[in-house]
Amino acid sequence: MSIDSRVDPILLGILWDRLIAVADDILLSIVRTAFSVGVREAWDLACVLFDDKGRSIAQATLSMPAFIGTAPYTMQHMLQRFPAASLSPGDVLATNDPWLGTGHTPDICIARPVFHGGRLVGFVMTISHLPDIGGAGLSIANREIFEEGLILPVCKLVRAGVANEELYELLRSNVRVPDQVFGDLMANIGGTELGARLIGEFMAEFALRDLTALADGIINQSADAMRARLRDIPDGIYRNALDVEAVDGSVRLEASVTVKGDAVAIDFTGSGPAVRNAINVPLCYTRSFATYAIKCLTTPEVPNNLGTLLPVTVSAPAACILNAQRPAPTGGRHVIGWFIVPLIMGALAEAMPDRVQADCGMASLFIVHGTHPDGRPVSTQYFLAGGLGAMRAHDGHHTTPSPTNNAVVSSEVWENETGMTVLRRRLLPDSGGAGQWRGGLGQEAALRNDSGHPVTVALFGMRTEFAARGLFGGRDGTKRSFAIDGRPIASKGRHILNPGETLTVLEAGGGGYGAARSRDPAAVRDDVAAGFVSPAAALADYGVAIEG
């Protein structure tokens, strides 16, 4: 069947939607078969489909933003190591190298070549965050990449359908929870096998000999849509800077966003140098979130593929914190990397006031290592979330992860997996920044160690010194904080939670948008009735007196 997006856009749309459905089926199969909380509950994974040249053409709808931005480059690294001509049906490639993959070692990238009619027609890649990869464990305290676990260069986990048993044994010997790690690994490998079959069925149904013309149509249409929206932004150089708490003091992030015609160039010159602790960001992760920010501001409704990346160029000086070089530790790269989104939003605020978002309280995660009451080892991650920043005509959502899109782990699952007890999780009134449109609320979470064993908690706390900023007169959200049995603790690094002790987290609120005194009084009263705003704050911030 011939496909030409210029002639038959309806057919192109049908086939494009079908590819996305294939990717969604693959992702769901992994979630259903994975062993770890991070994948089963938090959806810390992605699936991306490629043509035979390694060009990304479709992603699963609920893929992590970071992964869909790094995957196209990971695929090219894989093809440099194993050219297409050297691949056979049944091969499975893998890497978790931070500079070739997603920026830190726990994320495993799995790719399978897809053959149809005896010819290589494409690739299926899945990425997920493993529950453990060895080393000292994921923590900001690490000082070199070598402390952050086993690093796999691009390699073949499976050759022509035969597992690489020596490599499997190497993996098993280096991780704390091998059953969980291999459960997730096999879920990814099985997902790529399902994907190869579904792509073959898709091509047979529509009598496609290859995916080249379809890929051309998808990529060109996506790139054209983004370029059209970029042309709506006045040409110019837009700048922004912000400070982010590191470990010893803060680090400066700077960005200049140059819009010229239908292209945008983002340069992070001026950002601070890489640091000793594990919050450094490889360029692959920086590029991913920079592109994500532009995508949100221009064509959020267009599915992601290579076309999204083509109009955007990203650069950062070598050895700065946004372009860390080996052997800098990168395990907590999100601690800095997530701030790329508000950095770019702030730069373009005046040019795109109707599109930008006030700063978010951001997602929150920490890692626990311990022992379950039944004696088995525990190595897992827990996700919470602060409030979203407000936008013009939209209040921020409460306790919603951003700029990532992972799910918050349910209390019941967390308790079953760790032996810890979730004493409470509740919204924090007045935590969202006041504004014409109010920032989303943060939450309080209290977790008691009832496992009977000491638990090591590795925190990656953000927004503890610099609150989510409001826009256009909107006020800042509240900050994040951590305590053990009421004693404040450092927001970054490892802590021991002894049996019976309680870790309490107060999640950050999102920034407000517009002057608070411009908010509709009826909306303020509704906020008070719902418990989002206290009567005192209604009067002090909004000038609305609440009777009774």
Residue 78 one-letter amino acid:
M
Relative orientation angle of helices 283-298 and 65-81, to the nearest 10 degrees: 130
For residue 139 the two structure tokens come to 């923590």
The CB density around residue 319, as the number of other CB atoms within 10 Å, is 12
User: Which two structure tokens, joined as six digits, stand for 223?
Assistant: 């790139």
Query: Rounded CA gap, 345 and 81, in Å?
Result: 37
327 Cβ contact partners less than 8 Å away, ≥ 6 residues apart: 144, 145, 146
**β-bridge partners, 437:** 513
Distance CA 327, CA 462 (A): 24
Find, among 291, 284, 125, the residue nearest to 192 by Cα.
Answer: 125
- In 34-111, which residue ranges form alpha helices assigned H by DSSP? 37-40, 65-81
Tokens encoding 210: 């290859």
Question: Which residue in the block uniquely carries the two structure tokens 């601070």?
Answer: 272
Q: What would the 3-class secondary structure string for 332-369 be?
A: CCHHHHCCHHHHHHHHCCCCCCCCCECCCCCEEEEEEE
Token pair, residue 547, equals 């009777």
SS3 content of the chain, % helix, strand, coil (to 5): 30, 25, 45
Q: Which of 100, 104, 4 is nearest to 44 (CA)?
A: 104
Question: Going by DSSP bridges, is the β-strand pair 250-260/236-245 parallel, antiparallel, or unpaired?
Answer: antiparallel
Distance between CA atoms of residues 215 and 336, nearest Å: 34
C-alpha span between 104 and 513 (Å, rounded): 34
Strand (E) or helix (H) holding 222: helix 212-230
The structural domains of the chain, with segments of one domain joined by +, span: 9-223, 357-548
- The token duo for 483 is 């305590």
Residues 6+ apart with CB under 8 A from 169: none
98: helix, strand or coil: coil
What is the per-residue pLDDT across 362-408, written as a single tens digit (0 to 9) for each?
998 899 999 999 999 998 888 899 999 999 999 999 999 999 998 88
Distance CA 128, CA 139 (A): 18
Residue 462 to residues 332, 364, 389, Cα–Cα distance (Å): 11, 8, 15
pTM: 0.95
Distance CA 147, CA 247 (A): 18
Residue 244's φ and ψ, nearest 5 degrees, are -125, 135
- The rounded distance, in Å, linking the Cα atoms of 147 and 200 is 42
The torsion angle over the Cα atoms of residues 344, 148, 141 and 379, rounded to 10 degrees, is 100
Report the half-sphere exposure of 296 (CA within 13 A, side-chain side).
Answer: 22
Hunting for tokens 């190869």 — which residue is that? 196
Per-residue pLDDT, 2:
47
| The pLDDT value given to residue 408 | 83
CA angle 333, 336, 338 (to 5 degrees): 90
Angle at 17 between CA 72 and CA 292, to 5 degrees: 40
Q: Cβ distance 362 to 289 under 8 Å?
A: no
What pLDDT is attached to residue 3? 53
CB-side neighbour CA atoms (13 Å) of 319: 0
Q: Which stretches of the chain score pLDDT less than 70?
A: 1-7
Write out the two tokens for 5.
């997006």
Backbone CA torsion sign across 321, 511, 399, 478: positive
The full 3-state SS of 169-195, as one line of letters, equals HHHHCCCCCHHHHHHHHHHHHHHHHHH
Q: Which two tokens stand for residue 60?
A: 């699963």
